Amino acid sequence: MTNSNGNKALERADAKVKQLLDRARNLEPGSVALVDAPAGAGKTGLVTRLVPRHVKEDRRVAVITQTNEQADDLSRRLAREQPKLDITRMVKSGYDDPGFPNNVTVLSDAAALGSSSVVVATADKWSFATAKLGKTTFDIGLIDEAYQMAGGKLLYSGHLFQALEMVGDPGQLSPFSQVDTERWSGLSVDPTKNAVDTLRYYMDFEHDSLPVTRRLPAHAAGIVRAAFYEDLEFSAATELGARQLGLVGKARRGSSASRVADMALKHGWAIARLPQRSVQRNDQEIAHAAASIAKDLLEREVHRMEDDDSRFDKVLAPGRIALGASHRDQVAALRAAAESLGIEGVAIDTANRLQGREFDVVIAWHPLSGQVEASAFHLDVGRLCVLATRHRHACVLVGREGIEDLLEMSVPTGEGLLGETIDRSISGWQAHLLLLGELAHTEVKW
């Protein structure tokens, strides 16, 4: 099975990256550029290629990430791809060194940075480092996951970077605070506004986007785009059929989990529907259903075929399956269910914590399952987007009947933010309806 359209897509993707790298040849101090990257479009890959490009022009490069895990992953990846490049990973004091290749130096005292040309750290660490760095500046600050960064953080560290390049996924979870931020609602000074929207208020910037998602399979790209990325143009890197999961083991007769697994492997999506019941949020039956789908996949020996590599021979390992939910108590229920079914090694976490990660199969607890009211939290478009865009092969939604009725009953009135073209509560509601509508043909009654 060739992947000719897919190959064309990959060519477009490569051309875009080349264009962005070429642009890096010239850098105006005071310039800001944004690259939008839908899920799985190679955001981090772009960053790791931009770094050496800038270094080649004799520039000092600061890389700003949002979490320590992201900083560690990026440092490691950069170090492997550029073995001759010296990279500094700046960490908080007392940080547990997770181990890096030799060309990565770990240090916590900003004053000791010397003339390192590449420094990777979290936004918070950069905030603390500013005071110690005096007049030192970096020619360019590369912000990874710019849409997850609170714009307010740049106030602390902005002085350090002469120019900014932001890379981010506009569809995912926004920064938020436990504190009531009504005081600044709708104002440009709102410290919880993400970095991209914040800077947009102050200046114009160059705007590009990555045109291909390498992660999402062909049957997902169109739906995901319609639901979460209306303003972006992108396609999948593979054609239908170029990437497949094949089952070796036979389906267990009469098993709902098997029927769901079959559906997911065939269509790339499946909705497992449990009967309507009034249950608390940590719905044990849903947890059990989700875990048993994972178990079915593991027991039946699923083999992966990847993009034009026409042999079925890469076995689906437990670590490539994820069970995702909205709440920690649901995650606890999933863990308990997984344990009782004897499955180990499967990733189980909240959408917040699954952000940025990638799997072959994702089994997602539908955020609205069992809810009596579609609250802003559950309707949040970012949460649904994260759950629906982690997979390379298939995504299964697990929920009870009644979600469409709930949505119909809870038409949102809007967030009431002056001048915003997108209303996240309304977009989220529409994304939920669209997803359920598009996937109706993949429904399996449990």
Interface residues with other proteins (CB under 8 A) are 30, 32, 124, 127-128, 130-131, 152-159, 164, 177-192, 198-199, 202-203, 277-281, 328-329, 332, 335-336, 370-373, 375, 408-423, 426-427, 430
Least CB distance from residue 416 to other proteins, whole Å?
3
What lies within 8 Å, CB to CB, of 162 at 6+ separation is 29, 30, 137, 138, 139, 140
CB of 152 to other proteins, least distance (A): 4
Q: Are strands 302-305 and 314-315 parallel, antiparallel or unpaired?
A: antiparallel
Ramachandran angles phi, psi of 36, nearest 5°:
-80, 135
Closer to other proteins by CB, 102 or 280: give it: 280
Q: Considering beta carbons, is residue 308 or 401 the nearer one to other proteins? A: 401
CB of 301 to other proteins, least distance (A): 29
Q: Cβ atoms within 10 A of the Cβ of 245, count?
A: 23
CA 361 to chain centroid: 15
Question: Closest by alpha carbon to 136, among 173, 103, 106, 111?
Answer: 111
How near is the Cβ of 24 to other proteins at its closest, in Å?
19
Transcribe 400-431 into DSSP letters.
ETTHHHHHHH--------TT-S--HHHHHHHH
Dihedral sign, Cα of residue 316, residue 384, residue 9, residue 168: negative
- Least separation in angstroms between residue 420's CB and other proteins is 7
**Alpha-carbon dihedral angle through residues 242, 247, 248, 252, given to the nearest 10 degrees:** -170
**Which one, 43 or 424, has the nearer CB to other proteins?**
424
3-state secondary structure of 87: strand
CB of 199 to other proteins, least distance (A): 6
Q: Which is nearer to other proteins, 96 or 233 (CB)?
A: 96
Least Å distance between CB 366 and other proteins?
16
Q: How far apart are the first and last CA of the chain?
A: 33
Nearer to other proteins, 236 or 351 (CB): 351
Only one residue has tokens 């593979």, namely 238
CA-closest candidate to residue 248, choices 230, 261, 257:
261
Least Å distance, CB 351 to other proteins, is 18
Which lies closer to other proteins via its Cβ, residue 18 or residue 92?
92
Nearer Cβ to other proteins (122/238) = 122
| Nearest to other proteins of 299, 415 (CB atom) | 415
CA–CA dist 231, 427 (Å, integer): 12
